[in-house]
Amino acid sequence: MAFLVGGANSSAAVAYDIDNSCRFNDDDSPYLGITLGTPSTANVFTFSFWFKLGDWEESKVPFSAGTDSNNFDQIVLENNGTIIYHQKSGGSNTSYIQPNALYRDPSAWYHLVVGVDTTQSTDTNRIKMYVNGSQISSFDTETYCDQNEAAEFNTAVIHTVGTQSKGDTHANYMDGYLADFYFIDGTQYAASDFGETDEDSGIWKPKEASVTFGDNGFFLEFKGTGASQDSSGIGADTSGEDNHLAVTNLAATDQCTDTPTNNFCTINPLIPTGNYVYAEGNTKFTSGWDNIFAWGTMGIPADSSTGWYFELRLGSAPVGASGYGLGVGIADFTYAVETHGLGTDGAHPLSSTTMFGIKTNFSYDADYCLTVGTGQLIDLNVNTSVGQIIQIAWKDSKIYCGVDNTWYAADAETDGDPAGGSNQSHTVSGTYNSDIWMPMAWTNVGGIALSAFNFGNPSWSLSSGESDANGYGNFEYAPPSGFYALCTKNLAEFG
C-alpha cells in the first residue's frame, strides 16, 4: 500500500467505526450551513474533524463563520499543504496560526482538532491545534488574539462546513472528504478527547467522544442522504441538539463509506500534475492531452492469492478522436516512479509490457471500440459507449477484463471466469520493476471527459449496488467470488 501517513487510514484494530463521510467537489460549490444562536459560553469552543484531500488546484476551507469580508473566522487547507487557523475582526487579523508542517498526502485521512478559549491569560493557551493527535508547537506564523477577544465562531452568524463564509459570500470550496465533524460550544477539548494511539501499530485512530456540546454544538456523522435541513439530511446533527445544517449542492451520491476507519483507494493526483483535471474526491478525471496516465493510491502484488476488483465508467470522448483511446487496468507502479518520478509528466506505460487491461479506441461518433493496442491489452471487437462499465479483477497473476458484467478471455471469444480462476484476459509473467501493481487509466488524447473510477464509492447513481463478500464497497456489478474492494479493512485481512 502506498503513500499512507500514520494517522488513521486504518488497518489498526478499532472499537469505534466511522461509517460515513461526505464527499465535496469544489466545482459544484457545495457546503452545509447554519446560523447559530446565543452560545452557552462565548469565546470557548472546539472543532474536530477528519479530512482526506481532493484536488490541489485551490486552497480549501472546510469550516468557517462570518458576517462580512472584514469579520470572519476560518480554517484553511492551503494548496501547498499548510493548515491555517484565521480570525479576522474589523478588517484586521486578530489570530493567525500557521504550522510549518505540511499535510498533503492525497491517500491519507488526517485528524484536525482546534480548541479555543480566549479567556486564557497565556496567549498560547487560547488556541491549540492538533493534527493526528499531536499538538502543534512549531509555526511559520503564530499570532494569537487578545485575551477575551470576540470570535465569529460560536456566535449568532452563519457557520459553513465546506466553504469560506463572509455572510452571504462564499469561496474556497472544500474538495475532498470530511468525516466525524464535531463543533462544541463552551469547552476547549484536546485531540485525546476524540482519538487515541493504537498500542500495537502506533496509528492515531478515532474513538467515541464523551463531550458536552452546548447550545450551539453539532455533530455531523453524514448518516443521511437527503437535501433537507432536518434529521434525514446530509447535514443532520446527531449530537441531540438538533442543530441541523442546510444542504447546498450536495447529493445522495456524496455520502461515502471512504472513512478514517476504512480508507478506500482513489486516484493519486501527484502522478502526474497538470495534465488531468480531477473531480469528485479524486474518482473522476478529464485528460489534458495525450500519453498521460492516472494511478490509484493503493497497490497489490499481481500474484496476490486474494482477488481485487474495481470498475471504471466510460466518459465522453472528443468528437473526431478516431484512433485514439483510453486504457484501463493495472500497471507496474515502480516503472512510473523510476522512469518519470512523482509529479512528472512522461511516456505512458503502454510503450512496454508494464500494463495489463483493456484499451478503448474511439470511433468518429465518439463511441468506443475495445480493440488491440500497444502493450498487453485485450483485443475485444465489441462496441461500447459512454456510461458503460469496464471491470478489472486480478488474482494469482491473472487479470480479468469485463464490460457490463461480461468477462472476456484472451481470445475475446471465450467467456472469462474470474471466480473459477480460468479463461483470464492476461497472465503476468516475466521480470518487472517491482512486485506492486496499481490500478491505472491511460489516455492518448486530450479531452476525454470525466471518466470515473469506482473503487467502492461511486460518484454516480448506480442502477444496482453491490458490495464484496465482506460487505465493503458499492459497485454496479457484484465483484466475482473471491475478489474484494481496495480498502484498508480488506488489506488488513488479506493484503
What band does 495 get if pLDDT is binned at 50, 70 and 90? confident
pLDDT band at 269 (very low <50, low <70, confident <90, very high): confident
pLDDT tens sequence across 212-229 = 999 999 999 999 999 999
pLDDT of 317 reads: 63
Distances 79 to 54, 132, 232, 439 between C-alpha atoms, Å: 10, 19, 33, 25
| Mean pLDDT to the nearest integer, 434-450 | 72
| CA distances from residue 219 to 179, 184, 212 in whole angstroms, order as listed | 10, 8, 11
CB neighbour list of residue 338: distance below 8 Å, 6 or more residues apart? 433
pLDDT tops 50 at residue 245: yes
* Cβ proximity of 272 and 343 under 8 Å: yes
d(C-alpha 388, C-alpha 313), whole Å: 6
Mean pLDDT check: name the lowest of 37-51, 116-130, 211-225, 302-316.
302-316
How many angstroms separate the CA atoms of 58 and 26, rounded? 9
Interval 80-121: pLDDT, tens: 999 999 999 999 999 999 999 999 999 999 999 999 999 999
Q: Supply the pLDDT for residue 183.
A: 98
Q: What is the pLDDT of residue 257?
A: 98
Query: What is residue 319's predicted lDDT score, i.e. its pLDDT?
Result: 53
Mean pLDDT, to the nearest integer, of 263-290? Answer: 79
Look up residue 290 and give its three cell numbers. Answer: 495525450
Using pLDDT thresholds of 50, 70 and 90, give the confidence band for residue 55: confident
Instruction: State the pLDDT confidence band at 32, using cuts at 50, 70 and 90.
Output: very high
Whether the per-residue pLDDT at 242 is higher than 60: the answer is yes
The string of pLDDT tens digits covering residues 62-81 is 999 999 999 999 999 999 99
Mean pLDDT, range 46-56, rounded to an integer: 94
pLDDT of residue 488: 96
Write the DSSP assignment of 141-208 as a string of letters. EEE-PPTT---STTSSSEEEESSEEETTEEES---EEEEEEEEEES----GGGTEEE-TTT--EEE--
pLDDT in the model for residue 162: 98
Least confident of 5-9, 162-166, 185-189, 441-445: 5-9
Q: How confident is the model at residue 281 (pLDDT cuts 50, 70, 90)?
A: very high
Mean pLDDT, rounded, for 142-149: 96
Of 3.40.190.80, 2.40.160.10, 1.10.3720.10, 2.60.120.200, the CATH number of 21-256 is 2.60.120.200
pTM above 0.75, yes or no: yes
Q: How confident is the model at residue 57 (pLDDT cuts 50, 70, 90)?
A: confident
Instruction: Give percent above pLDDT 90 in the chain.
Output: 65
Question: With the CA atoms of 294, 300, 306 and 307 taken in that order, what torsion angle do they form, in degrees rounded to the nearest 10?
Answer: 10
**Mind listing the pLDDT tens digit for each residue in 329-388?**
888 777 655 554 444 444 444 444 467 777 666 543 434 434 333 345 555 555 567 788
What integer is the mean pLDDT of 422-445? Answer: 78
Which residue would you say has higher pLDDT here, 330 or 182? 182
pLDDT for 445: 59
pLDDT at 74: 98
Residue 158 pairs in a beta bridge with 35, 66
Give residue 290's pLDDT band: very low, low, confident or very high (50, 70, 90). low
Q: Where in the chain are the domains?
A: 21-256, 267-494
Cα gap 469→344, rounded to integer Å: 38
Report the pLDDT value the prediction gives residue 338, as an integer from 0 to 100: 57
Q: Are 289 and 47 in contact (CB under 8 A)?
A: no
The per-residue pLDDT for 348 is: 44
Domains 21-256 and 267-494 share a fold: yes
CATH architecture group of domain 267-494: Sandwich (2.60)
Mean pLDDT for the chain? 86
In angstroms, what CA-CA distances link 439 with 207, 297, 311, 325?
A: 32, 8, 10, 17
- Residue 473 clears pLDDT 90, i.e. is over it: yes
Least confident of 204-213, 391-400, 446-455: 446-455
pLDDT at position 414 is 79
| Residue 5 pLDDT > 60 | no
